[in-house]
Amino acid sequence: VRAALRAPAPEVAPRLLGWLLRTTMDGTVTSVVISEVEAYTEADPASHSAGGPTVRNASMFGPAGTLYVYRSYGIHWCVNVVTGPAGEGSAVLLRAGVPWEGREEMVRRRGRVDHLTDGPGKLTQALGIHGSHDGLDPFDVGPVQLIPGRPMPARTTSRIGISKARDTPWRWVAVGSVTSPESSWSTDDT
DNA sequence: GAGCCGATATTCT
DNA sequence: GAATATCGGCTCC
């Protein structure tokens, strides 16, 4: 499984669509089927790793699979899955998912019943992911787990929310409609 | 639906 | 001091 993440970020990104991201907090399980991702590499001027390792992005240079969680706009948390060999700062940002397990808990954490996981900051809030999960291994026993799913059809788009390298088409959105992580589907977002 | 704006941690100038 | 891998509430179609 981990070997599938050792490839370059733009190659790994679409593979993550359809995978399950699951958290267990105080015995409460919540999960989403990943439906939107974005790739970032060290050579990419829009990437946090572009300027080399810093205190904040250190985990982005860890081994493939490592979780890189950072604070965005001082308010939200965003989660990435590190790709490539250790020492290389590339990762895939998990932008959105479809609520799977523990929907009620997500509603409680989000304080609303709609738009639960259709954005990177919303996704982490719904799943209870935050700074203390930075650097964790989601394939080891722990609060955050990454579970492979069935490959899903995706459409490629340019990235959003950034000002540099905007035209690089490194954003993937799952296409279809979800019934289970084992079937095929997709978009509850734009 | 689109567009504006404020909240605010971390990094860089 | 400015920019940022965002969100939610607001206005105005």
pLDDT digits (tens, 9 = 90+) for A70-105: 999 999 999 999 999 999 999 999 999 999 999 999
Neighbouring C-beta atoms of residue A116, cutoff 10 Å? 24
Cβ of A83 near strand C (distance < 7 A): no
User: How confident is the model at residue A181, as a pLDDT?
Assistant: 53
Which residues surround strand B, with CB < 7 Å?
A 51, 54-57, 71, 73-75, 190
Q: Which nucleotide has the shortest C1'-to-CA distance from A76?
A: C6
C1' of C13 to CA of A16 (Å): 38
Distance CA A168, CA A157 (A): 8
C1' of C3 to CA of A166 (Å): 16
Instruction: Measure the CA angle with vertex A40, ends A34 and A41; round to 5°.
Output: 140
Residue pair A126/A116 in contact (Cβ under 8 Å)? The answer is yes
Using the predicted structure, report yes or no on whether residue A190 has a pLDDT greater than 80: no
Average pLDDT over residues A28-48: 95
List residues bridging with A77 in a β-sheet.
Answer: A71
Average pLDDT over residues A119-125: 97
Instruction: Give chain A as a DSSP string.
Output: -GGGGSS-HHHHHHHTTT-EEEEEETTEEEEEEEEEEEEE-TT-TTSGGGG---TTTGGGGSSTT-EEEEEETTTEEEEEEEESSTT--EEEEEEEEEEEE-HHHHHHHHTSSSSSSSSHHHHHHHHT--GGGTT--TTSSSSEEEE------EEEE---S-SSSTT---EEEE-S--S-TTS----S--
Q: Which amino acid is at A31?
A: S
Kindly report, residue by residue over A135-172, the tens digit of the pLDDT: 999 999 999 999 999 899 999 998 888 888 888 889 99
User: How confident is the model at residue A187, as a pLDDT?
Assistant: 44
Residue pair A73/A90 in contact (Cβ under 8 Å)? The answer is no
Cβ of A40 near strand C (distance < 7 A): yes
Mean pLDDT (chain A) is 92
C1' of B5 to CA of A2 (Å): 42
Q: Which nucleotide has the shortest C1'-to-CA distance from A55?
A: B10
Residue pair A173/A94 in contact (Cβ under 8 Å)? The answer is no
pTM of the entire predicted model: 0.92
